[in-house]
């Protein structure tokens, strides 16, 4: 089940909210847990057992680590638990990727294993690992109530598409959280805006990409339209889901940390990754980069640490080489910036620094979205006309005119401009009056698109 479906919007969510708010406080976590397990069961019936077993394992190892605190046994239990969690992730997500690469060197082919990737396994695996590491390091108290731990791991608002919620972020909220109409209203507002990002912008740009991919009349202009639409679609899809998750969290009394902070206004790649998928980049920083030594080691080890982190970041996104290349691409660029380029970027006028960052990011998402190395180079070459394609074509002009408005809206919406206008003192009263109307309009239009059966992909299945 995903958020942008009729089943979720008109059946699951309203029923869960009504039950959640009529039961006493002591039962709210139980209702959330049952709802989260049903949510997951709806999409992955057979893998609900895997999630439950993973939760039980995490609960037991958390108790063992706490019981043997500051001993070698605690370290041993932590290592075993991480190996099991990562082992399960590797099996379900990377087995056939490994087989495919081994086959290159073998004359006798190995049969692929029929494995269906459990939705959200990358997200909840990272949450369980961070919980156990924080317990081991004394940053979090062990959770002795297995129902509360299970609620944290399976919490449906962030289960399938993040953000990656740390246990330390909601540790106190699992025990006690605030409920009021202002918080609930803010949650509804955030959810509807996220839904609009996903359905009205990301999905429409996804349709444009599909048109490009099957077109026989490509041109340099069409390649640029495609590249820009990919960059915008990925942002609005992912940030839209994060907005919906944060909004749902507020409706149930939780406060999740922000996952995006206008990454397309960044003035360097370093700045970009402080703003993009914040929960993932900080997870790798705290649980991989810093334990490896971070930048407090000699230069060779420091460069190694960066490349290890970005190799794993790329691989986390999917079991294909384009994701690995994507991660390493950012690793190399970040090294170049940190070694010498960043001091020059800081001296540049902001417009040039931002243009540099956007170009680098646009190229990265062509790599990210590519189906094989050949298509990646073809799409990159198309931007500068090396494929022998014309500068413009009748078809590219037609689709440029057809999608110009939505692309323009997306470009403006990826900046703080709308937020600044809405929050300006001059318009605040008017916005407060009109806000319920435009939110209702967004919700109705989104519902119409969903009912119509419009393009509605689930990008996070491979994560």
Residue 344 has pLDDT above 90, yes or no: no
Torsion of CA 278, 279, 284, 287, to 10 degrees: 140
- Name the nearest CA neighbour of 139 among 287, 306, 293: 287
DSSP at 425: T
What integer pLDDT is reported at residue 244 of this predicted model?
96
What does the pLDDT average to over 310-329? Answer: 93
What integer pLDDT is reported at residue 460 of this predicted model?
57
What integer pLDDT is reported at residue 348 of this predicted model?
85
Contact 174, 103 (CB under 8 A): no
Q: CA-to-CA distance for 276 and 357, rounded, in angstroms?
A: 13
What integer pLDDT is reported at residue 106 of this predicted model?
74
What integer pLDDT is reported at residue 252 of this predicted model?
95
DSSP string, 13-71: HHHHHHHHHHS-GGGHHHHHHHHHHHHHHHH-GGGHHHHHHHHHHHHHHHHHHHHTTTS
Torsion of CA 321, 117, 163, 438, to 10 degrees: 100
* Burial label, 301 (beta-carbon count in 10 A; 0-12, 13-18, 19+): middle
User: Which residue out of 93, 190, 198, 317 is catalytically annotated?
Assistant: 317
What integer pLDDT is reported at residue 462 of this predicted model?
52
Domain range list for the chain: 6-177, 183-267+346-462
What integer pLDDT is reported at residue 458 of this predicted model?
59
Residue 85 is inside which H or E element, if any? helix 72-102
Mean pLDDT score of the chain: 91
Residue 362 has pLDDT above 90, yes or no: yes
277 assigned to active site: no
What integer pLDDT is reported at residue 420 of this predicted model?
87
Q: CA-to-CA distance for 299 and 340, rounded, in angstroms?
A: 14
DSSP string, 305-335: HHHHHHHHHHHHH-SSHHHHHHHHHHHHHHH
Q: CA-to-CA distance for 145 and 22, rounded, in angstroms?
A: 23
What integer pLDDT is reported at residue 100 of this predicted model?
87
3-class SS of residue 299: helix
Q: Where are the alpha helices (DSSP H) in 215-298?
A: 220-251, 269-275, 278-284
Residue 423 tokens, joined? 């929050």
What does the pLDDT average to over 425-434? Answer: 79
Q: Which long-range contacts (CB under 8 A, 24 or more apart) does 46-54 make?
A: 47/116, 47/118, 47/119, 50/88, 50/118, 50/121, 51/118, 51/124, 51/153, 51/154, 52/150, 54/85, 54/88, 54/124, 54/125, 54/128, 54/153
- In the block, which residue shows the tokens 């924080």? 134
Q: CA-to-CA distance for 361 and 264, rounded, in angstroms?
A: 9
- Name the nearest CA neighbour of 369 among 380, 359, 381, 382: 380
Residue 461 has pLDDT above 60, yes or no: no
Percent of the chain clearing pLDDT 90 (strictly above): 69
- In the block, which residue shows the tokens 């006028």? 349
- Of 78 and 372, the structure prediction assigns the larger pLDDT to 78
What integer pLDDT is reported at residue 226 of this predicted model?
95
What integer pLDDT is reported at residue 193 of this predicted model?
96
Residue 409 has pLDDT above 90, yes or no: yes
Residue 284 has pLDDT above 60, yes or no: yes
Radius of gyration of the chain (CA): 23
Contact 272, 281 (CB under 8 A): no
pTM, two decimals, is 0.92
What does the pLDDT average to over 364-376? Answer: 87
Residue 455 has pLDDT above 80, yes or no: no
């Amino acid at each position: 089940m995903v958020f942008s479906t009729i089943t979720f919007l008109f059946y699951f969510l309203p029923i869960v909210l009504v039950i959640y708010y009529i039961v006493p406080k002591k039962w709210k976590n139980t209702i959330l847990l049952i709802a989260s397990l049903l949510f997951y069961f709806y999409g992955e019936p057979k893998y609900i057992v895997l999630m439950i077993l993973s939760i039980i394992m995490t609960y037991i190892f958390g108790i063992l680590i706490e019981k043997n605190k500051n001993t070698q046994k605690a370290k041993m239990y932590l290592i075993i638990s991480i190996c099991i969690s990562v082992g399960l992730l590797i099996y379900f997500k990377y087995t056939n990727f490994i087989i495919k690469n081994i086959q290159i060197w073998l004359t006798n082919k190995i049969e692929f294993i029929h494995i269906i990737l459990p939705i959200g396994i990358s997200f909840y695996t990272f949450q369980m690992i961070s919980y156990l590491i924080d317990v081991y390091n004394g940053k979090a108290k062990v959770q002795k109530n297995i129902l509360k731990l299970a609620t944290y791991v399976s919490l449906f608002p962030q289960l399938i598409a993040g953000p990656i919620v740390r246990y330390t972020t909601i540790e106190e909220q699992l025990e006690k959280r605030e409920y009021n109409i202002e918080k609930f209203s803010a949650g509804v507002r955030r959810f509807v805006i996220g839904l609009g990002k996903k359905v009205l912008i990301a999905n429409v740009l996804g349709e444009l990409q599909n048109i490009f991919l099957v077109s026989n009349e490509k041109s340099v202009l069409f390649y640029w339209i495609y590249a820009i639409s990919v960059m915008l679609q990925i942002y609005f899809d992912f940030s839209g889901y994060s907005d919906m998750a944060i909004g749902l969290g507020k409706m149930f009394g939780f406060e999740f940390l922000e996952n995006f902070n206008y990454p397309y206004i960044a003035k360097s790649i370093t700045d970009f990754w402080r703003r993009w998928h914040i929960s993932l980049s900080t997870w790798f920083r705290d649980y991989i980069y810093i334990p490896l030594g971070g930048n407090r080691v000699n230069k060779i080890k420091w460069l190694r640490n960066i490349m290890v982190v970005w190799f794993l970041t790329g691989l986390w996104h999917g079991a294909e080489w384009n994701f690995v290349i994507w991660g390493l691409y950012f690793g190399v660029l970040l090294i170049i910036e940190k070694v010498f380029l960043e001091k020059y970027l800081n001296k540049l006028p902001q417009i040039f620094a931002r243009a540099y960052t956007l170009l680098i990011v646009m190229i990265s998402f062509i790599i990210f979205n590519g189906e094989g190395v050949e298509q990646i180079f073809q799409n990159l070459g198309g931007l500068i006309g090396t494929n022998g394609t014309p500068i413009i074509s009748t078809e590219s002009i037609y689709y440029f005119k057809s999608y110009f408005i939505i692309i323009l809206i997306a470009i403006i919406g990826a900046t703080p401009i709308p937020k600044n206008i809405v929050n300006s003192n001059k318009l605040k009263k008017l916005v407060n009056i009109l806000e319920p109307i435009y939110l209702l309009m967004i919700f109705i239009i989104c519902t119409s698109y969903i009912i119509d059966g419009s393009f509605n992909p689930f990008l996070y299945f491979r994560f």
